[in-house]
Amino acid sequence: MSRDAYITPEGYERLRAELHELQHVERPRVTQEVADAAAQGDRSENAEYIYGKKRLREIDGRLRFLMKRMDELTVVREAPGDVHKVFFGAFVTLEDESGASVRYRVVGPDEFDVDRGWISIASPVARALMGREEGDEVVVRRPRGDAAYTIVAVDYGDEKGPTT
């Protein structure tokens, strides 16, 4: 199984909720809007009809993608055997050379969120961290130059902090 097919339970739930919303709320609503617009007559110059049909194609494409992708995913529910090392799902606190710290979570490519500090397992930072442990120094190869970090903490808790 490819690491690109891993996902956290939270990430899987977000995809499942999106699938449900598209199937049971958004698509029926847009379908009704298209039917209402079609009833108005000439479809060739009916903006609501044309836009609605385009939106239905987008929804259907996303539904196909989600259903296929969700079948391919492996939900990682358990912390690894060695919780002192960085593996999928880990929260990792890093310190750079200037002493500034940052906290990341290593997640699947379907759920990365830069604003939350959730980085894809395929990212350069996550690749450099995999299998490392607290106290290790890592060098991240970046287009704008290498960056060195020290791993300050590794945990498998939640966004609020480590489990005790």
Q: Which CATH number does the domain housing residue 51 bear?
A: 1.10.287.180
Does residue 161 have a pLDDT over 80?
no
Residue 162 covered by a domain? no
**122 and 68 fall within a common domain:** no
Q: Give percent of the chain above pLDDT 70.
A: 94
Q: What is the mean pLDDT of the chain?
A: 91
Closest by CA position to 156, among listed 140, 127, 134: 134
Residue 86 covered by a domain? no
Residue 81 covered by a domain? no
**Domain coverage including residue 31:** 3-75
106-to-19, 20, 79 alpha-carbon distances in Å: 24, 26, 12
Note the pTM of the prediction, 2 decimals. 0.82
The pLDDT, as a whole number, for residue 163 is: 45
The pLDDT, as a whole number, for residue 2 is: 66
Higher pLDDT: 60 or 79? It is 60
Burial 93-111 (b: 16+ CB within 10 A, else e): bbbeeeeeeeebbbbbbbb
**59 and 103 fall within a common domain:** no
